[in-house]
Every structure is written in structure tokens, then in C-alpha cells.
Structure 1
Amino acid sequence: MTQDAMDMPLQQEDDELPDAVPVPGALVPHLSECALLLDIDGTLLDFAPTPREVWVPPGLAKTMNRLLERTSGALALVSGRSLNDIDLIFAPSEFPAVGGHGAEMRLSTDSEAVAAHAPPMDKDLKKRLAAIAQLSPGILLEDKGYSLALHYRLAPHAEKAIYEAVSLIRADLPNAPIEVLPGKCVCEIKHSGFTKASGVRELMTHEPFRGRRPVFIGDDVTDESVFAIMPDLGGQAFSVGRRAHGVAGHFDEPRDVREWLAHLLDDEKMMTEKLRR
């Protein structure tokens, strides 16, 4: 496989993937036994023209705070966004989180954020990659600290040119420890020493997540590394918008995820009432 082919977005037709079933609440263990791990963009929240325009629907933060309480704190957001960015989106609420594709982590709402052994990207390399945004109006550059993202939702015609430019830089620096993450209308470049999966593995070694069965929901190619490790952790994965390999079920869109999370609380309440009788 050529370097150019490796750097182009991964596209898989649904027909090539195994069937996945829609997600009933019965597939999820009791909230006292599980850890809820949730991607943000395209999973909890609908996509927007730019990353800054995403919108938290009314009631979602309340649902998440109630789930955080019911799981005794074992709910975490798992995102490519930085922790600061996550907090801005959900303000004034704060949640445990794995940010920056595993580069940083916060174990609880009252703990300090820590870097998860993530080295920063070389500054000169960042400058070269950032210059790619000048290829076309509409390409938005996002510096996430540990990674750099080139969004082209407003310039879809520029997709091929972006990946070709990234490939040329990688060919010029073959020993640079970087990884290209193709996403939905975004090309992200980060240091190769960490992933969402490595962040989740680290998270699950700490209280209150340790010993629980993780339930991860994600939508994009960058979430596939977490899908892959769920069996190792005794957990389950669910995809959004497409049927992905290795998942127990799928949701059609973020709205379905939000409704399902709210139903988890209702199911838990009904189960508790039955136990009391």
C-alpha cells in the first residue's frame, strides 16, 4: 500500500460490514456495574458547520449528570477535543473525560486534569501542517495542543488536496512519529504515541471505573480503536450512523443516543422499584 493510500480517509460500505442490531436497553448491565464512555461529536451531539457551533440540546446535561450519579461517577466523555474545549461545550457542567484522543484525562469532576504520557507535537511540523489550511477558503484549522485538525466541511472539494499535502509532508519526514486520523470532513494529525484506546485502557485502571463493564458509544474511524478493545475489557461497543465492525448494535443518529441514555434512567428506576416490592 502506498503512503498516499494510507493517508486517504477510510471508507467502508455498510454492505461490507456484518449486521448490527439496534440497541435495546437490555443489552446494558445495571448502571451500578457499568462504565458509560461516550464520544461527543456525531455521537452525543449533531455535527455543525464548524466545531465551535455544536449545540448541546436541552436536557442532555441533566441526563448525563443523573447518569454520572447513578454510576457513582463512572461516566466519561471520550473525545478528540481537548478537555478545555469539552468543558466549554458543556459549561457549567463538567464530566470525567479522556481528551485529545487519549492525550489527557480527568478521572472525576473534582480531580485535576492530567496528561496521559502524551508528548507534544513538534512546533515546526505543526507550522508546516497548519499551512495546508491556505489551500482553499473554507478549510478551518484547529490546534488542539496535542494534535492539529483540518476541517473541510465548508470546503468538501478540498479533501483530496488536503490529504495529498499531508502525504507529501510525511514523505519528507518519514521518521516523524505522527499518525493521520481521517474523520468526517476532518483530517487530524497527532503524535503516534497515544490513541483513544490507550486512554480508555488507562481510564479503566482507576476508580470509579476499575472493575466495571465499559459501554462505549462512538461514530467515527477514530473510535474504532476503542471498539476493538471492548472485548478485552469485558465491555460492549455501539456505533452511530453506520454499522461498524465489532459492535453489539448501532444507533441511526445522535438524537437516538440521547433518547436511549434518558431511557436508561427510566429502566433503572423501574428495575429499582421492582426490587423494592
Structure 2
Amino acid sequence: MADNEPLMPPLGASALLLDIDGTLLDLAPSPSEVRVPPGLATSLSRLLSRTDGALALVSGRPLGDIDRIFAPMLFPAVGGHGAEMRISVESEAVASRAPPMSVDLIRRFAAIAELHAGILVENKGYSLALHFRKAPDAEQAIYDAVSAVRADLPNAPIEVLPGKFVCEIKPSGFTKATGVTELMSHEPFKGRRPVFIGDDVTDETVFAIMPDLKGLSFSVGRRAKGVDGHFPAPREVRAWLSRLLDDEQAAAE
């Protein structure tokens, strides 16, 4: 259970916005090794129905990767840190004014992995992530190398996103917050009260806009500044989502 848990609006008036890694799913040594626990996809599908479609996964992962993880189920989603969006299960995925990273930038930053055999490169198209969960001692060397590339390309419109054992580089101009803001302007999300749950530094942009959207926010693992509640770990998030369904069912009886 989240501490300082506020009174939730009815699911019929809510928009559930959920980060994936470290929030819904436990972190793994590499992004490809995460697993969806039994029952989670079913709970999300039921919540999607109870909110009349106003549930979305909000992730740094590209939409194709999100779909692979939760296959065969599909969900509305904001992917690539706001670069991609799918408003409903039936709609086509669209890019949200976000150009993919240039081949030259990808090549330069991917070469940083040569610093250590444990560094994993993940090319997301709209961004590139350097994972060092298997090489935690390489963190400073990675950030120093990223800074050197940026110094060599001072006019490149890029930004660096630090995270849990990951350094991600993406074009500037879009974030999870810009993606969520765009999503909330469309039906069935429009006019609802958003409830966002996230765990990492990249989720802070969304935490920051929740008051403007009259929404609620929860952090996972760490107690982020300005949130309405906190979950110790993803398993508590999953239990809370199941409890939302149970409470809604009980209220209907």
C-alpha cells in the first residue's frame, strides 16, 4: 500500500498513467530480461475496461518493445519518453513531433560501450541507452565519455537522462511530460483526473505537471518530491491496482 494514500477518484473519472520498469515490473539485469508477473496483464486489461479506455503505459521504451513485453495484449501508451503515442488499442501509433536520433550520434554514443564488457547498448530509435547494471563501477567513466561527446558537438540538440544504472541520450524537445500532456488532450483521457505512478528521474517531469492537471502522483522505491504517495516496490503497485478493482467491484454490489 502507498503511504499517505489519498482518496482515489472513481475509476470512471480517472486516467491511469503507469510507468513500466521499476514501477509495474521489477528491474532485471537487462531490459530484455524483465518479466510480466502472472495476473498483471489481466488486471491492466480490466482496469482499461473500467476506465473506458483511459489507461496508458508511459515509458522510455519504444512502443514496439512495450507491445512485446505485454503480448498478446495491447494497451494505450506513451513510448520513447514522449516520442511516440498510441491513444487507444484500436488507433495507429503516431510519432509526437520527435525526430529519431541521427546515425552519427548513435554511433558516437554507442562506442562508449567499449569502455567495459558489462555495458549494454539499447538503441531505441528516438534515444540510445547505456545500461551498466552489470558494470556499476563504470558509471563515472560513462558519464565522462558522454560529456566529452557533447563537448565535441556543442550545438547538437540532445539531452542526457540519468537513471537507475542507465545513462540515456535523446534529442531535446520532448519528454514524458509533453507526451502525457498531449495524451490528456484526447478522448477518452480528456477531462479525467490523471493518476501517474513512476519510479525514476525521467518520471519527475510528469510528477511536476500533475498539479496543473489536477492529478495525483505516486513514486516507487524512492520518495520523490511533491508526490501524493509512495510505494516501496513494484509488488505494492501491483497489489494496489488489484485492490482498485476489488474496491470498485465491492462498491457496485
Same-fold status (TM-score > 0.5) = yes
Residue 22 of structure 1 aligns with which residue?
3
Residue 96 of structure 1 aligns with which residue?
76
2: CA distance between counterparts of 1:272 and 1:238?
Answer: 26
Residue 247 of structure 2 aligns with which residue?
267
Q: CA deviation at 1:226?
A: 0.1
Contact 1:23–1:251 (CA<8 Å) still a contact in 2?
A: no
2: CA distance between counterparts of 1:236 and 1:57?
Answer: 25
Q: How does 1:223-262 map to 2 (within 5 A)?
A: 223-262=203-242
Give a deviation string over 1:128-162, Cα, whole Å, max 9, x none: 00100111011000000000000000000110000
2: CA distance between counterparts of 1:162 and 1:247?
Answer: 30
Contact 1:239–1:250 (CA<8 Å) still a contact in 2?
A: yes
Match of 1:231, SS state, is: coil
Q: CA deviation at 1:27?
A: 2.2
Structure 2 residue identity aligned to 1:202: E
Q: How does 1:2-41 map to 2 (within 5 A)?
A: 22=3, 24=5, 27-41=7-21
Q: How does 1:82-93 map to 2 (within 5 A)?
A: 82-93=62-73
1: CA distance between counterparts of 2:202 and 2:171?
Answer: 14
Aligned pair 1:162/2:142, yes or no?
A: yes
Aligned pair 1:149/2:138, yes or no?
A: no
Query: Which segments of structure 1 move beyond 2 Å, counting only runs of 4 or more?
Result: none
1: CA distance between counterparts of 2:229 and 2:39?
Answer: 24
Identity of aligned residues (%): 73
Residue 200 of structure 1 aligns with which residue?
180
Aligned pair 1:59/2:39, yes or no?
A: yes
Residue 122 of structure 1 aligns with which residue?
102
Structure 2 residue identity aligned to 1:125: L
1: CA distance between counterparts of 2:8 and 2:172?
Answer: 32
Residue 189 of structure 2 aligns with which residue?
209
Shift of the 260–56 alpha-carbon distance from structure 1 to 2, 3 Å rule, reads: same
Structure 1 residue identity aligned to 2:3: P
Q: CA deviation at 1:122?
A: 1.7
2: CA distance between counterparts of 1:141 and 1:96?
Answer: 27
1: CA distance between counterparts of 2:77 and 2:102?
Answer: 25
2: CA distance between counterparts of 1:201 and 1:174?
Answer: 29
Structure 2 residue identity aligned to 1:34: S
Give a deviation string over 1:194-248, Cα, whole Å, max 9, x none: 0000000000000000000000000000000000000011101000001101100
1: CA distance between counterparts of 2:184 and 2:4?
Answer: 23
1: CA distance between counterparts of 2:7 and 2:207?
Answer: 16
2: CA distance between counterparts of 1:37 and 1:28?
Answer: 14
Residue 6 of structure 1 aligns with which residue?
none
Structure 1 residue identity aligned to 2:192: R
Q: CA deviation at 1:23?
A: 5.2
**TM-score, scaled relative to structure 2:** 0.98
Q: CA deviation at 1:117?
A: 0.5
Number of equivalent positions: 252
Residue 49 of structure 1 aligns with which residue?
29
2: CA distance between counterparts of 1:156 and 1:27?
Answer: 40
Structure 1 residue identity aligned to 2:244: L
2: CA distance between counterparts of 1:181 and 1:77?
Answer: 19
Residue 5 of structure 1 aligns with which residue?
none
In angstroms, what is the RMSD of aligned CA positions? Answer: 0.8
